[in-house]
A = this chain, B = another copy of it.
Amino acid sequence: MERRRQRILSVARTTLARDGFEALTLRSLAQQAGVTVPTIYNLVGSKDDLLRELIAGLVERCERALEEVEDHGPIDMARHVVGTLAALFAEDEDFCRAALVAGQRLERSSGANAPPGIWQRSSQIAMRICLDASRSGLLRGDLDPRRIGERAFDGYRIAVIDWLNGAIDAEGFERNALSGFYLCLAADAVPRFRRALVSRLAELERPRRARANRRGST
């Protein structure tokens, strides 16, 4: 039955969010979902398959959230992307954390079998932002824009990792990811563009509280 399958996945999501990655065991999952363990194997697959499914759900939500990215120039575009992701993370923090932890675990255990794309899309966007900035004459050209894009994306990536490990909260994620990104751009920015970046960076230093009105958060 498809309903059973959905129920299993739903219970798995809840457990993962409430009790973390270690607590998600097939036996307890089966019990909570009102089925037996082999049924999980039949309807969902192995534990790795189960994790892949959960992660795929998160990835899809990320992709959907990032679909509506419009061109507003590098600064606002980066801010919008990071802000969108931060909002999405904050909305269901426990689950996103656990799912990303599971993703990390999968990457190591099953090599490249993991879904292609928690990073894929955001990586492309980051690179596009830098290349566009270069084409628009916002960069001086002393440095390879592709390298800038790579390092800028690194700043975003390490922020995700720190957030996922609990080292920083969602607000810290937004601040670190953006400041890393802006910093890399500023390294080769034309004076006017650099001034705009510096101004944004200074703004990031101020503690924010007007963040709440961005999203109702139900």
Instruction: Enumerate chain A interface residues (CB-CB to B < 8 A).
Output: 22, 101, 107-109, 142-144, 147-148, 150-151, 154-155, 157-159, 161, 165, 176, 179-180, 182-184, 186-188, 197-198, 201-202, 205
Contact = CB atoms under 8 A, between A and B. Distances in A.
Main SS of the interface on chain A? helix
B101 A148 contact: no
A155 B154 CA distance: 7
24 contacts: A22-B109, A107-B165, A108-B165, A143-B183, A143-B186, A143-B201, A147-B179, A147-B201, A150-B176, A151-B155, A151-B179, A151-B183, A154-B154, A154-B155, A154-B176, A155-B155, A155-B158, A158-B161, A182-B187, A183-B183, A183-B184, A184-B187, A186-B188, A187-B187
Contacts of A179: 147, 151
Given A150-B176, A154-B155, 10 more contacts: A143-B202, A151-B179, A155-B155, A155-B158, A157-B158, A158-B161, A183-B183, A184-B184, A184-B187, A186-B186
